[in-house]
A and B are shown apart, each in its own frame.
Chain A
Amino acid sequence: MEMINGVTVAVVLFGIGLLGLIIRRDLVIKLLALGLVDSSVTLALVSLDARQDALTPIWQGAGLAYVDPLPHALVLAAIVINFALLALALVFVMLLVERYHTTDSHRIAHEIGRETEE
């Protein structure tokens, strides 16, 4: 099997996204990284059974080789839930920005800590 296929690319993208999620401090960039993680999951699931000699899972008669349709059905749920997650998370980031006037997660945590002390 070739080294560079959908799954390995997806694992690398997942790593980049997770790293961004951990070390970047800006909340919006954290959300972008989360989107990258989700896209990598989509890519991994779609390329699980990707073969050159198989057809897309649209029925054209028995006896032909088709790609496994099950991961595709799972990916559909992943995409919709990713959309829902990002939309809601953006709203919460907007609420935080409105209150603390920054997207820096460390500064927001600092401000909240100061508020609870008072």
Chain B
Amino acid sequence: MRTSKLAQTTAALVLVACACAIIAFGFSYRGPLDRPNPYLSRATTDTGATNLVAGIYLDYRLYDSLFELLVFSVAVLGVRFYLGTTRQSPNTKAIPESQAVRASADLLFSPILLIGVYLILFGHLSPGGGFSGGAVAGTGLLLCAVALGAETVARRFHSTQLELFEWGALFVVLLLVLIPLIFGLSPFTDLLPRGAPGELLSGGTLLIYNVLIGIKVFVGTWVVISTFIRHRGEI
């Protein structure tokens, strides 16, 4: 028994070493660095976004982002569905928190929400975007849940309205993607005009997608957190 365990560990080590060697070998090749990069030279004029990353994932590769959003939705749905089959934790009473936690939550909640909204709205101009902004705002709600107790926070948000928001955002994204079909264009075509790069309305539909993704991620993170709290006890 002892030797077989040693043999297993050795086999695992050899396997991992081989995998790492293959990956390191794959990364060791680099193409010529000074080759012209089409994204760098054209992205801002094509998409109107000064944040080139946002320009890529919300314009050139919107197809990827759409399915990313669908994977996220399926995960949130899966958490809600599978945890719904288990019994709820009896210990959902709020644990009394210290005054410091309450005070810092009161102080920090609005700035965190504001930063989240800023990251969402200016996602195509500066670092940020729907995913990160939504996650930041969701973290603000988590802070509130730590300070006030999750039940109190959950009571303030009506869960049916939240669900409506969540699935409504996804529905609008799917609709926006398909609208160009009416005009005989291929889906994922951006119809809105481009403004001067650097202005808030310069990115065409990028701003709309960022806001919708932000809503979706914000509600999704809160649903995951509150479902875990409801079934595994108070944080």
Contacts and interface: CB of A to CB of B under 8 A. Distances in A.
Interface of A: 7-8, 11-12, 14-15, 18-19, 22-23, 44, 48, 51, 56-60, 62, 66, 68-70, 72-73, 76-77, 79-81, 83-85, 87-88, 90-92, 94-95, 98
Contacts of A87: 75-76, 79, 224
Nearest to B197: A59
A98 B89 CA distance: 11
A63 B47 CA distance: 19
Residue from A8, A18, A48 having most chain B Cβ neighbours under 10 A: A18
Interface of B: 8-9, 12-13, 15-17, 19-20, 23-24, 27, 33, 37, 39-41, 43-44, 49-53, 55-57, 61, 64-65, 68, 71-72, 74-76, 78-79, 82-83, 85-86, 126-127, 129, 131, 197, 224, 228, 231-232
Going nearest first, the 7 A-B pairs with the smallest beta carbon separation are A84-B75, A69-B52, A57-B52, A59-B50, A73-B56, A73-B57, A15-B20
Contacts of A66: 40, 52
Given A68-B37, A87-B224, A95-B85, 19 more contacts: A11-B20, A15-B16, A15-B17, A15-B19, A44-B27, A58-B126, A58-B127, A59-B197, A69-B55, A72-B53, A73-B53, A77-B57, A81-B68, A83-B72, A84-B72, A84-B74, A88-B75, A91-B78, A94-B83
Residue from A11, A51, A81 having most chain B Cβ neighbours under 10 A: A11
B56 A18 contact: no
A7 B20 CA distance: 11
Contacts of A14: 19-20, 23
Given A58-B126, A81-B71, A22 B56 contact: no
B12 A22 contact: yes
A62 B37 CA distance: 13
B79 A88 contact: yes
Main secondary structure on chain A at its contact with chain B? Answer: helix
Given A58-B127, A88-B78, A92-B82, A23 B72 contact: no
B12 A19 contact: yes
Contacts of A94: 83, 86, 231-232
Contacts of B43: 59, 69
A80 B121 CA distance: 19
26 contacts: A7-B24, A11-B20, A11-B27, A15-B16, A15-B17, A18-B15, A18-B16, A19-B12, A22-B12, A44-B27, A58-B52, A58-B126, A68-B40, A69-B53, A73-B56, A77-B64, A77-B65, A81-B71, A84-B71, A84-B75, A85-B75, A88-B82, A90-B228, A91-B79, A94-B231, A95-B86
Contacts of B83: 91, 94
A10 B144 CA distance: 35
Given A58-B127, A80-B72, A23 B53 contact: no
B52 A76 contact: no
Contacts of B12: 19, 22-23
Contact of A95 (B16, B23, B82): B82
